[in-house]
Chain A
């Protein structure tokens, strides 16, 4: 069974631009969570989608948004990029309605110049 995949793996953007990241969960998984990982802050939760609905949301500004499609694939969008948005963005999928036992993707490394 294929694991969680994320595209693109690396991105370089400039301040003020916007970016869209994509995540394909493990087949059959319906929950997709997004995390921002930085050396200083660790793993911070962004949001979680289940059956196309945002079920949980972390403490990030409205510039960060996401959605989930009927095939459970998810995208996250960051508008008006800031230097502090440089991070590894990880998505994770879970098999059941529970978000226990999350399986992570390889991440998208975003660099904002």
Chain B
């Protein structure tokens, strides 16, 4: 089955810095890669996703890049703010009815 590795497990940055979280996947058939943000005590929320037919997707301060050859994808957050502090989960899926496999999560701490 699919295996998703996520690094780092904890990331501490100063407000205004950029943050990068990386994930690798094992199944070359995976073609859908969502990212979820979970604030303390709240539900995970989808913040951005990418499909294998594109290499990069941006949404304001958030971007995701995908390297299908190397089987890794990354979340980039620019100009970080304290409200970006949360646990971020990546996932990989073959799409359709296939259930996504989640990474273990990265705890992002943005210091004011």
A→B interface (CB under 8 Å): 4, 33, 42-43, 45, 48, 50, 55-56, 58, 90, 97-107
- What does the 1/0 interface line of B4-31 toward A look like (CB < 8 Å)? 0000000000000000000000000000
Pair A104/B43 contact, Cβ less than 8 Å? yes
Cβ–Cβ < 8 Å partners of A101 in chain B: 34, 46, 49
* A-B interface pairs (CB < 8 A), number: 55
Pair A42/B103 contact, Cβ less than 8 Å? yes
Bound-state Cα–Cα, A42 to B49, Å: 20
Q: Which residue of A lies closest to B6 (CB)?
A: A42
Q: Which residue of B lies closest to A33 (CB)?
A: B99
| Cross-chain contact of B97 among A43, A99, A104, A106 (Cβ < 8 A) | A99
Cβ–Cβ < 8 Å partners of B80 in chain A: none
Could you give 23 example pairs across A and B, Cβ below 8 Å? A4-B43, A33-B99, A42-B102, A43-B44, A45-B101, A48-B99, A56-B97, A56-B98, A58-B99, A90-B43, A90-B44, A99-B96, A99-B97, A99-B99, A100-B32, A100-B95, A102-B34, A102-B46, A104-B36, A104-B45, A105-B43, A106-B42, A107-B43
